[in-house]
Amino acid sequence: MATLSDVARRAGVSPATASRVINGSSKPVTEELRERVLRAVAELQYVPNAHAQLLARSHRVAVGVIVHDVSDPYFAEITRGLQRVATDQGRLLMICNSYRDPDRELEYVELLRGQQVAAIILAGSGYHDATFTRLLNEKLAAYEATGGRVAVIGRHEHSGDAVMPDNRAGGRLIGAELYELGHRAIGVVAGPAVLTTTTDRLTGLRESLAAHGLSLPEHRVRHAEFDRDGGVAATAALLDADPELTAIVALNDSMAIGALALLRSRSVAVPRQVSVIGFDDMPIARDVTPALTTVRLPLVDMGARAMSLALDPGAAAPRVEVLPAEVVRRDSTGPAPEVTPVRPRGAGSAAPADSRPPAAAGGGGPSRPSPRGG
Amino acid sequence: MATLSDVARRAGVSPATASRVINGSSKPVTEELRERVLRAVAELQYVPNAHAQLLARSHRVAVGVIVHDVSDPYFAEITRGLQRVATDQGRLLMICNSYRDPDRELEYVELLRGQQVAAIILAGSGYHDATFTRLLNEKLAAYEATGGRVAVIGRHEHSGDAVMPDNRAGGRLIGAELYELGHRAIGVVAGPAVLTTTTDRLTGLRESLAAHGLSLPEHRVRHAEFDRDGGVAATAALLDADPELTAIVALNDSMAIGALALLRSRSVAVPRQVSVIGFDDMPIARDVTPALTTVRLPLVDMGARAMSLALDPGAAAPRVEVLPAEVVRRDSTGPAPEVTPVRPRGAGSAAPADSRPPAAAGGGGPSRPSPRGG
DNA sequence: GATTGTCAGGCAAGCGCTTTCCTGGGCAGC
DNA sequence: GCTGCCCAGGAAAGCGCTTGCCTGACAATC
């Protein structure tokens, strides 16, 4: 591998001069020497050793981001936003997948610290785990103490700059939407209980149902992995236990897609028999059938803002930007059916023990806010 | 930021000893000193400067991969395979998105070279662009000349180790499949013509159609971006020009999803009126409606193998692994209808100028190879 | 002609770490 | 008691680059 001194030697100049030519230093260099250096660079196919440069300058240029999994569309979208701003500012982005393993997350913080990144961005749900949270905060604090910048997306536990999707409000929107459509028997396909995203969304949903005098019993909430197959499993469990459900809330779109798949495999009509609503509005949501009603989060924007916060030297006070959630109505939700929607498979017709109210006659909620959203 | 000498000073030892303790060097160190060093490390929250380490050791540990876009499921899957092997071997993976910009691709090669990566993996289609190809090969050659390893996925233009999905055979499979189903009026929703992936798949398709005496006129091939919206646009163009098409081949699944969306918006029944077949078998393919018939490529495996090749010191001769494509039959394809399937919108019924043969009566190909795949 | 100013270019000191080689003390062997 | 060996630990030489500072040549000024 050719080095700077190789270039300098070939051009018949000192390494200092070569360096200045290559980096476009403000220090003037004769045109002739400049050309000799550039020619040598081309001839040797010289590329500066980035590590040596980083050691020599004290200027940190890369930015690290730790996500659960970039191939998950949720994070793919966020990453796209991060990338855009990073690239605009001439920063290199290093992406690390924790695969939802807290330990790996801690390791990556160290790794990124060792890489001398200018900022670390943590994207994705936090964990209900006090020990982990303390450990993580210690590590981040140590990093910040040496001038590193930290921004988080959707995490409560860190005290610095943060971009927060309004998961709880989103949960409330779902509750209101389903209530207006007349649904009273609602099941929830939830992500892992240790994730704050799961509990936040669930809390919001419970709040709005409670406001209408409805409760959400524990057995109507099934936890599984936050992905398509988790959605399949949780939906199956939910329906097996409660065939009279008229609506299924999936706490993210991947799970919702799993729910749709399971319902289709059981020949349950959506939304005629059962409505399904998701969360996140990932791009594919509009292309499944029926197109998925969901709660939109401005994912790309969340990424972009987080990167802006991270790269902005920053006010003394930590900045928290809460980004709103909004319902996107598509075809997977509809008015609650008036009779038990799901024929229990095999078993004799289960007693409809549910306390379903008469439900506003004429189907459809009192007034569907708008005929079609997004 | 605490340095090694800070640690050494605090522990009352030399930097050499501290380094040896921290890296678990084979050189023996008294238990007492060892403990003092480790305590100092903990107290100072010391993390070694990775760049300094890389400078000092000559051992390169990171691996770089250049993909078109990780958030595209095709590359997300490949990346997953790459990651797995890289992690198993204790390598850090650096992911770079070229966003299908050849210039950016060249830049990233330089960047990765500067980062002293042990290997560079190029994933994704090559370009029909002689100048670019030459430039790229020069850069890669320079990198290899200094001991760097290169592996490519799905690119003809590089002469070293390669993993090649059998795009052409996949194209042939599609042709055979549609022919057997009785389709004679076939349109192609293709990716950019400059991509070798596009042309390879198209070539295969043409070959198998030709084997049955069918040709694929240019106006039945529409090029657009290799994504969902490209699929929408190309399908619309195709149908507007040729309402009598009975099958649409999308050269990747993203475009196929766009095609399905467009057909639904025009109320064209799939597969009753028009069959749709995709390519790649990305995970979402089974969850759209109708579930997408497609050609499966072993994406994760492709990534894993490429990484193995890249990390394996390597035989003198370049190794090329061709991975087979296989048809996955789902619900978006069916026998060709016997009458003009798409009612032209508005315009008077276009003359069915097509040379459609009588088509085997009874619908359905002579014998559908297997009732249901994958 | 001596002095000062200007300016292109080079010297050399690091950046933080690893690793080779050397040192000096303790011990066994004669 | 002296020599030689072994071994833990340290000194120091880089790894490849940047950059503050200095040098030496030349031109301008008195």
Of A2, A45, A71, which has the smallest distance from its Cβ to B79's Cβ? Answer: A71
Nearest to B195 by CA among B149, B230, B143: B230
Per CB-CB distance under 8 Å, the chain A contacts of B83 are 97
pLDDT category of residue B155 using cuts at 50, 70 and 90: very high
- Confidence category of residue A340, pLDDT binned at 50, 70, 90: low
Strand D contacted by B50 CB (< 7 A)? no
Q: What mean pLDDT is predicted for residues A147-161?
A: 91
| Nucleotide nearest the Cα atom of A11 (by C1') | C9
Q: Find all residues with CB under 8 Å of A191, minimum gap 6, and list them.
A: A125, A197, A198, A223, A224, A225, A226, A230, A251, A252, A255
Nucleotide D13: closest residue by CA–C1': B56
pLDDT band at B258 (very low <50, low <70, confident <90, very high): very high
Per mean pLDDT, which range of A27-36, A315-324, B211-220 is the poorest?
Answer: A315-324
Say which nucleotide is closest to residue B55, CA to C1' distance: D15
Q: Average of pLDDT values for A297-318? A: 91
- What pLDDT is stored for residue B337 in this prediction? 94
* CB contact set of B142 (below 8 Å; sequence gap of 6+): A45, B113
B43: number of Cβ within 10 Å: 12
Residue B276 Ramachandran class (φ > 0 left, ψ -120 to 50 alpha, else beta): beta
Of A180-194, A200-214, B119-133, B355-369, the least confident: B355-369
Is pLDDT larger for residue A245 or for residue A61?
Answer: A245
| Separation between Cα atoms, residue A21 and residue A5, nearest integer Å | 13
* pTM score: 0.85
Per the model's pLDDT, the better-predicted residue between B266 and B338 turns out to be: B266
Angle between helices B4-11 and B15-23 (to 10 degrees): 100
Closest CA to B50 of A135, A295, A110, A180: A110
Using CA coordinates, name the residue in chain B closest to A43. B142
Q: Which residues of A touch B111 (CB under 8 A)?
A: 50, 92
> What was the pLDDT predicted at B83?
92
CA distance A33 to A309: 43
Query: Within 7 Å: CB of A5 and strand D?
Result: yes
As a rounded value in angstroms, the CA-to-C1' distance for B33 and C26 is 19
Query: Which pLDDT belongs to residue A71?
Result: 82
Is the CB of A55 less than 8 angstroms away from the CB of B47?
no
Distance A56 CA to D17 C1' (A): 6
Q: How far does the CA of A321 sit from the C1' of D26, in Å?
A: 61
At A225 the pLDDT is 96
Q: CA nearest B75: which of B165, B169, B171, B205?
A: B165
Determine the pLDDT at residue B282: 94
**Summary mean pLDDT of chain A:** 89
Q: DSSP string spanning A128-191? A: S-HHHHHHHHHHHHHHHHTT-EEEEES-SS--SEEEEE-HHHHHHHHHHHHHHTT--SEEEEE-
For A36 and C2, how far is CA from C1' in angstroms? 38
Task: Report the pLDDT value the prediction gives residue A346, as an integer from 0 to 100.
Answer: 42
Instruction: Write down the pLDDT at residue A339.
Output: 61
Which residues in chain A have their CB less than 8 angstroms from residue B257's CB?
284, 287
Which pLDDT score is estimated for B353? 40
* Strand C bases, protein C-beta under 7 A: 7-12, 14-20
Minimum distance, in Å, between the CA of residue A42 and any CA atom of chain B:
11
Side chain identity, residue A203 = T
Cβ contact B274:B256 at 8 Å: no
Say which residue, A167 or B87, is predicted with more confidence. Answer: A167
Q: How far apart are CA A161 and CA A123, in angstroms?
A: 12
Q: Which residue of B has its CA nearest to A147?
A: B1
- Nearest nt (C1') from B17 Cα: D9
What are the DSSP calls for A222-236, one per residue?
A: EE--SSHHHHHHHHH
Nucleotide D20 C1' to residue A40 CA (A)? 26
Strand D nucleotides where any atom sits below 7 Å of a protein CB? 7-12, 14-21
Higher pLDDT, A362 or B192: B192
Mean pLDDT, range B46-64, rounded to an integer: 91
Which nucleotide across the nucleic acid strands is nearest to B46, CA versus C1'?
A: C16
Which is it for strands A326-328 and A294-296: parallel, antiparallel or unpaired?
A: antiparallel
Residue B288 has which token pair? 């759209």
Q: Phi/psi of residue A263, each to 5°?
A: -60, -40
User: At A361, is the pLDDT very low, low, confident or very high (cuts 50, 70, 90)?
Assistant: very low
Three-state DSSP at A221 gives strand
> What pLDDT score was predicted for residue B366?
38
Task: Kindly indicate the confidence band of residue A92, based on its pLDDT and cuts at 50, 70 and 90.
Answer: confident
Residue B280: CB atoms within 10 A of its CB come to: 27
Name the β-bridge partners of B190. B223
Q: Which residues contact A18 (CB under 8 A, 6 or more apart)?
A: A4, A5, A7, A8, A11, A37, A40
User: How many beta-carbon contacts under 8 Å exist across A and B?
Assistant: 103
For residue B286, the 8-state DSSP code is G
A253-265 helix and A228-241 helix, angle to the nearest 10 degrees? 50
Name residue A97's beta-bridge partners: A67
pLDDT at position B345 is 45
pLDDT exceeds 50 at position B350:
no
pLDDT tops 90 at residue A158: no
Q: What is the pLDDT of residue B367?
A: 39
For residue B232, the one-letter residue type is V
The residues near A181 (Cβ < 8 Å, ≥ 6 apart) are: A247, A275, A333, A334, A335, A336, A364, A365, A368
pLDDT reading at A192 higher than 80:
yes
Q: What is the mean pLDDT of residues A70-82?
A: 91
Cβ–Cβ of A116/B49 closer than 8 Å?
A: yes
In this complex, the answer to whether residue A56 has its CB under 7 A from any atom of chain C, a nucleic strand, is: yes
- Residue B275, pLDDT > 90, answer yes
Residue A360 — pLDDT band, cuts 50, 70, 90? very low
Distance CA B208, CA B249 (A): 13
